[in-house]
Structure 1
């Protein structure tokens, strides 16, 4: 009997060794990405990824002000995100606890084994009819400042505008505006730190999430936003903010 067990165990071991693992046959493909350099040693990464798959401390997503019409048009990434969170976002919106008003913010701790980001920052876009590039610049500013409060050194961002049925603004223009606002806000943050008015915070990566259809356009928009921010930063007043600077 013991000999039979040994033979059976040996046969099983040989079978396991002979069968290649699924990961070896079909390795997980890393999403396509393009890395760009930003001010203050920051890295801007355009990645073909959804807002539920980014392994970052903070994921930012945007929502128009809730209406019956906006709910009907919502598809794709925001639907999948809400599904993975067990209906959390739709519950908050249906109960009027996050409606998506102008620059309304809400931070959520993601439950374990739902999405890869640790925290989720919802930012309101306001009424869909009032969407503008200026609004998207403000979104970038708000996103960076909330990230700094949390100390999130790696941040992923998805505006989700197309997935909410809006195509008024070009994808590249949206990303240019967001990146410009974000980098200008980050420059202010670094200047405040240098003068003793803010706690230490360094942004390492800002990941811009883009679908396959908008990937190249997003890269172009991010490059433009970085260039515009760089020019504006160079033109800023370099004098201390206050006579009380440390």
Structure 2
């Protein structure tokens, strides 16, 4: 009879399975390798406006340098264009039409803001821009920052000289007094008419010298009751970014020289029987 044998075989198989199962449960498991640490994040690329290359602050005041002239007149060299300074009187120069000096940069901008007025009035011959000719206008509202605009003619560009720029300075001072404009800004606008035969720093020095001496004469006339009292409050000399440093370097000594010239002038009245000194103080 084979039933006992079958039962024996079944018991033996069950016992083997139990041993195998127990061995699997007690066998040590292979430890899992620790996870690799995460790689540090790559640093962000510097922006175009990082500390190394700061963004340009458009609210920053333009570079300027101020010098003290006689009669309490501050003279400031400022890096700004002729359409942007909010003064009572803005002044620019203009060569005659025959010189064929091409407008660029600030003169192109100024002419555009005025609807082509500068080109039209000169080319029509109604303002010929002969040396030391003057023309003053009231610009349309919002065209430029200044209340009034004065053009001073330079004539033939082939005859332009530092002496002429000295005389332009005197003309500007006298016109400012005549127009009762307390704040005045002057832009030579030579480079802006494609003219580069005169050094920009020397042009500034000559203009400022002429303006200081011209204003001193006006002040003396007032002190002698030969002209109503009026004082200039500020004179600005406008220079482009490329020329600002050179202009400041040359204008500083020019102001000192002009101060010495004013001090050396006689205090005697202009006429032997002229009026006594008045009470006007500029």
Note if 1:42 corresponds to 2:70: no
Aligned residues: 220
Distance 1:46 1:196 in 2: 32
1:84 aligned partner: 113
Match of 1:188 among 189, 203, 217: 217
2:139 aligned partner: 110
Single out whichever of 102-111 and 222-231 deviates more from structure 2: 222-231
Root-mean-square deviation over aligned CA pairs = 1.5
Structure that is richer in helix per residue: 1
After the TM superposition, which residues 101-180 of structure 1 pair with which residues of structure 2 at under 5 Å, given as runs? 101-180=130-209
Query: What displacement does 1:240 show?
Result: 1.2
Q: Which has the higher contact order (CA 8 A, sep 6+)?
A: 1
Closer, same or farther: CA 68–153 of 1 in aligned 2, 3 Å? closer
Closer, same or farther: CA 216–68 of 1 in aligned 2, 3 Å? closer
Match of 1:95 among 117, 121, 124: 124
Distance 1:98 1:29 in 2: 38
Tell whether the 8 Å contact from 1:178 to 1:225 is kept in structure 2 after alignment.
no
- Secondary structure of 1:212's partner? coil
Q: What are the Cα deviations for residues 207-236 of structure 1, in whole angstroms up to 9, with x where unaligned?
A: 110001000111122112212211211221
Distance 2:119 2:146 in 1: 18
Any stretches of 5+ residues in structure 2 without a counterpart? 1-56, 277-282
Match of 2:243 among 173, 189, 214: 214
Match of 1:28 among 29, 45, 59: 59
Distance 2:86 2:60 in 1: 15
Distance 1:81 1:120 in 2: 11
Query: What displacement does 1:150 show?
Result: 0.7
Distance 1:78 1:98 in 2: 17
Distance 1:74 1:199 in 2: 39
Structure whose alpha-carbon radius of gyration is higher: 2
Q: TM-score, normalization: structure 2?
A: 0.75
Structure 1 moving runs of 4+ over 3 Å:
none
Any stretches of 5+ residues in structure 1 without a counterpart? 1-25
Distance 1:99 1:140 in 2: 20
Query: What displacement does 1:67 show?
Result: 2.5
1:74 aligned partner: 103
